[in-house]
Amino acid sequence: MSLGDLQNLTILAVAQLGPEAVARQVRELLAQRVGREVAVPTIFVTLTRLEDQGLLKSVEGDHPERGGRRRRIFSVTEKGWAAVQATRAASERLWEGIAPQ
Amino acid sequence: MGRDSAAVSDPTWHRGRGRLRRWLAAWLPDTDWSDEFFEELDRDLARRAATKPGLGLTFWYLRQLLSPSTIGFVRASRARQQARWHAMGHARLATGLLQDLRQACRGLARDPWMAVLVVMTLAVGIGSVAAMVGLGQRLFLSGPPHVVASERVQRVFLTFDDAGGRRTSAWLPFNTAVAIRDSVDGFDGAAMYRRAEELADFGGRVRQVSMNAVDGHYFAVLGAQAAAGRFIADDDATDVLVLSERVAVEEFGSETAALGQTVRLGEYIGNVIGVAPAGFAGPDLDRVDAWRPLDVGAATGRNWWLFGRLAPTSETTRATAEAQAIHEAVDPGQFFQWARKGRVGMAGVHDDPTGERAAETSIAALLLGVVALVLVISWVNVLNLLFARVARRQGEVLVRLALGIGRWRLARLMLTESLLLSLLGGLASLPVAYGEGALVRNVLLPGVAWESAAIDTNLMLVTFLAVLISGVLLGLLPARHAHRADLSGGLSEARQGPSGSRARLQTVLVTSQIMLSAAMLLCAGLFVKSFWTMRVTDLGVDASVVHVANLRSLDAALGGGGDDEEARYVQALNALRRTQGGGDGGREVALAVGLPFITNFSMSVHVDGVEEIPQLHGGGPFISAVSGGYFEVIGTEIVRGEGISESDVATGARVTVIGESTARTLWPASDPIGQCARIGGPEAACYRVVGIAEDVNRQGYREPPSLQFYLPIGSSRAFRGPSLLVRSTRSGGAYESALAAEISSAVAGIDFIEVRRLDTFLDPEIRPWKLGAVMLTMVSALAMVMSLAGVFGVLSYVVAQRRREIGVRMALGATSRSIRGIVLRKGLVSGLVGVFLGFAAVLAGSRALAPLLFETGVADPLVMTTTGIGLVMAAVLACLLPATQAARVDPVTSLRAEP
């Protein structure tokens, strides 16, 4: 399975965040570390679709902040790992033989 | 966070954000993480809005900030949820319905005023119909309660054709009644009875009861079953009694406790052998409290009511022909020769005992029709509101369609919404139905025997049916509209206002509403005028200020004290005269035997030199024996000569006062004063005419003149059982009981006193008109308010939709005045056309309406002008606010507001 750029980045962000992988954190991580501003609905749509495809799974989390709402915490499934690794491998294979500019 | 809170402290932000959220919620399925989504969206919007200080953070601004991907999220969420429903298989429909319901609730909550208006409108419509069906059920839809196959039960009566037209009498002489009862083969059985008010003694508690003396066939012919014990049968001895459920419970606590008790009914003493089921009143409408077997000894000298049950193979015509043959063959007896001139007639039990359709029944049928109209008006009104709402929600509908909602699903959503509205309307209608039902029962038809409470299962069933019909009817049209919504066409329409066809439909709806309410208002006006005409009819007596006291004692009823009774009345008269001026500044009291509307005595009158005195259509000669001061107390004017004086009574003078028509009829050529009338027959003593009084109605409101004579009380032994009359402008329950208390403390040996205003004896006659006037006025006023709310709502909506057009007109030079004129004209035209059509409809139905009115024509100019002008003016008033709104449109804003 080949992943889109945003999908790939989202799975990696979820993996990076571990138990803190909620929608807001994923969005903020992408903004800070990759410099990619993603609209709120977009991140929700992306997370939803990845879950539908079986690349991510989610559980109802506890209250991470006092008075905060219940949030959905995402984690990467086996299939998700396979997908990001396949994407990475594909990308690396293409990088091979390209001289650094 | 600092910048966030700057935005959050702005109240506009809070409002805009709330609206935005509701706006989104309407489209977004309620998924487990929509909350989280909203929260994130909120934060993001707050942050972005705060970077642009100075701009109003309104809903519209916030909405602009939403990226197209929001719509993407909404669409994805919906797809996801639909996939889940598919996966759930069977549970899908239920979840879908639940979802619809939730959506419908949300939709209504967003438009609360519309919802309240619709629910109230439906409540009035449904409630009125339910109440009237309850009324109609008792009066004419179903037969008398507990009577088996009542459509086969026929009343027998006599009709007389004379110069004054057709007249019917429910009374049959004993011989005739018995012969018809026992010999008509067309009947499976027949029974005779008569009704009387009697004083009843329930072990020391004395009350007046309405009693039927019945023969042994009465209960069997009706097919009724006793609630406890048994009914009177053919072989019963004359010491048995059947009580109504109401009296049994009130006097003995329960139906079974009443069995075996001894009750005295006037001179009759009986043991209770049975209790009738609740609401049972035989074939009649009015309440009956007790039934006793008729006393054959006394029965032969009286007239009776008769009814029979048609044999399975028989028809009314056959039974009538047989009865007529029997009537012609039987000698009615010495005192009943009048009956020979009559022909036998038969009619069903929905008709009153005289075989004429009871006025209550006709008016109840009219009312049922009218409230059905109210329901239609409320439907039209609600349809108007829903159409306006669909148009307002055009954008939303289109977004839903764009998001991939199925058209059928959308239609279903609309249907759910209208069903929900109808259901709420149905719930709200129950108090309306109860209120109207209670009003009719307690105030307008107090004497009717009601079988059940004002709200019963039947009424609930009617309400439920009305709710269902309303829901489907009101859902189908908007749903059909939504179903046919066209993306591109719809978008342009949403911008430009209603298309021609829908605008026309709305105009038609509004006009038809006004038409229906005009028709109803005109009917109401006619009934009010009838009622009023009746109230101000000159009866010849001041019935509204004269109180009649009925003093009764059980001993007198037992036959022991005829003279005692006279003495008691004289004692009461004197007691009241002594306290004259005590309470109400000069009390006028008098005694009379034979009072209009209560008791009429008739005797043969002979005038020397005249073979047989002529008859008048009003009947008579009616003879009253009166005390001095009678004419002043009762308010009958002496037009010539003088009245009966105290000294006439004291000396036992043989003098008489006659009515004007009597004077004209008996002495057309000469002066009646000083003439001699032999009251009682050719050999009776001569009563010298001393005065002429104005004609007095003897029986009711509608009546031709009759022969009338007044004698001094005590001058003839034939006149016994006086009534005590008190003239007072005061009235009401408190005054009447005070008067009763005063009399009973002054006079010995009274077991029961009833003080009633004279005009209450006329209530049964005036009742149908009162019912019609009150109910029609109430219902048509409601209908008018509803129609005007409809006019107002539609015009406001049209103005809102045509804001841009109005802006363009104004930009092109139209003045506020001319714009206001356009809107007002629209309302005025609808109003005028509606009123015209409504009146035309009433005139077309005048044949049916005319018999229900009292001395009022259907095309009564006063009523027509008043209701017409009133309605048109009210319609113009309802247009005034939308017109002013339209005139205030600022062309610059209105043109800028729309893309």
Main-chain dihedrals φ then ψ at residue B464, nearest 5 degrees: -60, -45
Q: How far apart are CA B712 and CA B646, in angstroms?
A: 9
Give contacts of A39 with chain B, Cβ < 8 Å.
44, 67, 69-70
Q: Residue A61: helix, strand or coil by DSSP?
A: coil
The predicted pLDDT at position B492 comes to 44
| Candidate from B36, B69, B83 with C-beta closest to A69 | B36
Yes or no, beta carbons of A39 and B69 under 8 Å apart: yes
Give B322-366 as a 3 state SS string.
HHHHHHHHCCCCHHHHHHHHCEEEEEECCECCCCCECHHHHHHHH
Yes or no, beta carbons of A69 and B37 under 8 Å apart: no
In chain B, where are the structural domains located?
A: 2-88, 153-349, 546-761
- Interface residues of B toward A, Cβ cutoff 8 Å, are 32-33, 35-37, 39-41, 43-44, 66-67, 69-70, 72-74, 76-77, 80, 83
The predicted pLDDT at position B264 comes to 85
Residues 6+ apart with CB under 8 A from B380: B509, B512, B513, B516, B790
- Interface residues of A toward B, Cβ cutoff 8 Å, are 22-24, 27, 39-45, 48-49, 52, 60, 69-72
Contact yes or no for B589/B629 (Cβ under 8 A) = yes
Query: Token match 């309405």: residue?
Result: B210
Taking 80 as the threshold, does the pLDDT of residue B891 lie above it?
A: no
Cα A9 from chain centre: 5
The predicted pLDDT at position B10 comes to 64
Yes or no, beta carbons of A69 and B40 under 8 Å apart: no
Domains within chain A, CATH numbers bracketed: 5-91 (1.10.10.10)
Taking 60 as the threshold, does the pLDDT of residue A62 lie above it?
A: yes
| Candidate from A40, A49, A72 with C-beta closest to B33 | A72
Taking 50 as the threshold, does the pLDDT of residue A34 lie above it?
A: yes
* CA gyration radius, chain A: 15
Yes or no, beta carbons of A41 and B32 under 8 Å apart: no
Taking 60 as the threshold, does the pLDDT of residue B112 lie above it?
A: yes
pLDDT average, residue stretch B53-65: 59
The predicted pLDDT at position B839 comes to 92
Taking 50 as the threshold, does the pLDDT of residue B290 lie above it?
A: yes
| B307/B90: higher pLDDT | B307
Residue of A nearest to B45 (CA): A40
Q: Alpha-carbon dihedral of residues B53, B56, B59, B64, nearest 10 degrees?
A: -60
Contact yes or no for B498/B388 (Cβ under 8 A) = no
Give contacts of A25 with chain B, Cβ < 8 Å.
none
Yes or no, beta carbons of B36 and A23 under 8 Å apart: yes
The predicted pLDDT at position B497 comes to 47
Q: How far apart are CA B124 and CA B784, in angstroms?
A: 12
Instruction: Flag whether the ipTM exceeds 0.85.
Output: no
Q: How far apart are CA B874 and CA B870, in angstroms?
A: 6
Q: How far apart are CA B391 and CA B327, in angstroms?
A: 73
| B287/B93: higher pLDDT | B287
| B88/B639: higher pLDDT | B639
Give the DSSP H/E element, type plus range, for residue B844: helix B816-844
Q: How far apart are CA B426 and CA B302, in angstroms?
A: 53
Residue of A nearest to B84 (CA): A52
Taking 60 as the threshold, does the pLDDT of residue B190 lie above it?
A: yes
Residue of A nearest to B35 (CA): A69
The predicted pLDDT at position A15 comes to 92
pLDDT tens for B333-386 read 777 777 888 889 888 876 665 656 666 777 777 788 888 888 888 888 787 777
Preferred mutation among A27, A43, A44, A51 to probe B, highest tally of B CBs within 10 A: A44
The predicted pLDDT at position A65 comes to 56
The predicted pLDDT at position A49 comes to 83
Tokens of B334: 């010495």
Cα–Cα distances in angstroms (integers) from residue B362 to residues B103, B448, B453, B778, B849, in the given order:
46, 16, 23, 18, 10
CA distance A82 to chain B (A): 24
Taking 60 as the threshold, does the pLDDT of residue B123 lie above it?
A: yes
Q: How far apart are CA B471 and CA B483, in angstroms?
A: 17
Yes or no, beta carbons of A42 and B69 under 8 Å apart: yes
| Candidate from B35, B73, B83 with C-beta closest to A41 | B73
What does the buried/exposed string (b/e) look like for B72-107 if buried means 16 or more CB atoms within 10 Å of the residue's CB?
A: bbbbbbbbbbbeebeeeeeeeeeebeebbeebbeeb
Cα dihedral sign, B600-B604-B609-B615? positive
CA angle B652, B658, B661 (to 5 degrees): 170
Cα dihedral sign, B663-B666-B671-B676? negative
Taking 80 as the threshold, does the pLDDT of residue B879 lie above it?
A: yes
Preferred mutation among B4, B35, B36 to probe A, highest tally of A CBs within 10 A: B36
Query: Token match 């002495």: residue?
Result: B667
Residue type, B70: T
Query: Token match 């043959």: residue?
Result: B325
- Among residues of chain B, what percentage have pLDDT more than 70? 80
Residue B393's pLDDT band, with cuts at 50, 70 and 90, is low
Residue of A nearest to B42 (CA): A40
* A-B contacts (CB, under 8 Å): 55
Contact yes or no for B335/B301 (Cβ under 8 A) = yes
Contact yes or no for B806/B799 (Cβ under 8 A) = yes
Q: Residue B280: helix, strand or coil by DSSP?
A: coil
Give contacts of A23 with chain B, Cβ < 8 Å.
36-37, 40
Among B593, B425, B532, B556, smallest CA distance to B860 is for B532
Cα B530 from chain centre: 15
| B103/B433: higher pLDDT | B433
pLDDT average, residue stretch B563-569: 70
DSSP characters over A27-43? HHHIIIII-----HHHH
Cα–Cα distances in angstroms (integers) from residue B694 to residues B37, B471, B641, B820, in the given order:
91, 61, 12, 61
Taking 50 as the threshold, does the pLDDT of residue B481 lie above it?
A: yes
Among B183, B115, B720, smallest CA distance to B418 is for B115
| Candidate from A22, A45, A72 with C-beta closest to B76 | A45
- Which of B202-206, B225-229, B646-650 shows the lowest mean pLDDT across its residues? B202-206
- Which of B135-144, B312-321, B626-635 shows the lowest mean pLDDT across its residues? B135-144
Residue B346 bridge partners (DSSP)? B156
DSSP characters over B105-122? HHHHHHSHHHHHHHHHHH
Yes or no, beta carbons of B77 and A39 under 8 Å apart: no
Give the DSSP H/E element, type plus range, for residue B733: helix B733-746
Cα dihedral sign, A32-A35-A41-A47? negative
pLDDT average, residue stretch B666-687: 86
Contact yes or no for A71/A64 (Cβ under 8 A) = yes
Among B198, B189, B194, B192, smallest CA distance to B215 is for B192
Give contacts of A72 with chain B, Cβ < 8 Å.
32-33, 36
Residue B274's pLDDT band, with cuts at 50, 70 and 90, is very high
The predicted pLDDT at position B496 comes to 46
Most confident of B57-66, B455-464, B591-600, B607-616: B591-600
pLDDT tens for B646-662 read 888 888 888 999 999 89
Residue B737 CB coordination number (10 Å): 12
Q: How far apart are CA B649 and CA B569, in angstroms?
A: 15
Contact yes or no for B707/B605 (Cβ under 8 A) = yes
Cα–Cα distances in angstroms (integers) from residue B730 to residues B311, B313, B538, B559, B597, in the given order:
55, 59, 21, 35, 21
Residue B83's pLDDT band, with cuts at 50, 70 and 90, is low
Residue B81's pLDDT band, with cuts at 50, 70 and 90, is low
| B711/B3: higher pLDDT | B711
Residue of B nearest to A58 (CA): B33
Give the DSSP H/E element, type plus range, for residue B677: strand B676-679
| B38/A22: higher pLDDT | A22
Q: Residue B192: helix, strand or coil by DSSP?
A: strand
Ramachandran bin of B208, using left for φ above 0, alpha for ψ from -120 to 50, beta for the remaining angles: beta
DSSP character at residue B311: P
Yes or no, beta carbons of A27 and B40 under 8 Å apart: yes
Contact yes or no for B713/B592 (Cβ under 8 A) = yes
CA distance A2 to chain B (A): 21
Yes or no, beta carbons of B44 and A71 under 8 Å apart: no
Q: How far apart are CA B793 and CA B298, in angstroms?
A: 70
Residue B591 bridge partners (DSSP)? B724
What does the buried/exposed string (b/e) look like for B846-864 if buried means 16 or more CB atoms within 10 Å of the residue's CB?
A: eeebeebbbebebebeebb
**Half-sphere exposure of residue B534, counting CA atoms within 13 Å on the CB side?**
24
Residue A85's pLDDT band, with cuts at 50, 70 and 90, is very high
What is the rounded end-to-end Cα distance, in angstroms, of chain B?
A: 36
Give contacts of B44 with chain A, Cβ < 8 Å.
39-40
pLDDT tens for B498-513 read 455 666 777 888 888 8
- Which of A65-74, B190-199, B536-545, B651-660 shows the lowest mean pLDDT across its residues? A65-74
Contact yes or no for B660/B694 (Cβ under 8 A) = yes
Among B181, B200, B201, B203, smallest CA distance to B191 is for B181
CA distance A40 to chain B (A): 6
Residue of B nearest to A63 (CA): B36
Among B422, B397, B412, B421, smallest CA distance to B98 is for B412
The predicted pLDDT at position B495 comes to 43
The predicted pLDDT at position B301 comes to 73
- Among residues of chain B, what percentage have pLDDT more than 90? 8
Q: How far apart are CA B530 and CA B445, in angstroms?
A: 18
Residue type, B429: S
Give contacts of A60 with chain B, Cβ < 8 Å.
32
Q: How far apart are CA B581 and CA B574, in angstroms?
A: 13
- Which of A65-69, B67-71, B361-365, B486-490 shows the lowest mean pLDDT across its residues? B486-490
What does the buried/exposed string (b/e) look like for B802-835 if buried means 16 or more CB atoms within 10 Å of the residue's CB?
A: bbbebbebbeeebeeeebbbbbbebbeebbbbbb
DSSP characters over B71-104? HHHHHHHHHHHHHHHHHHTTHHHHHHHHHHHHHH
Cα dihedral sign, B639-B641-B647-B649? negative
Give the DSSP H/E element, type plus range, for residue B538: none
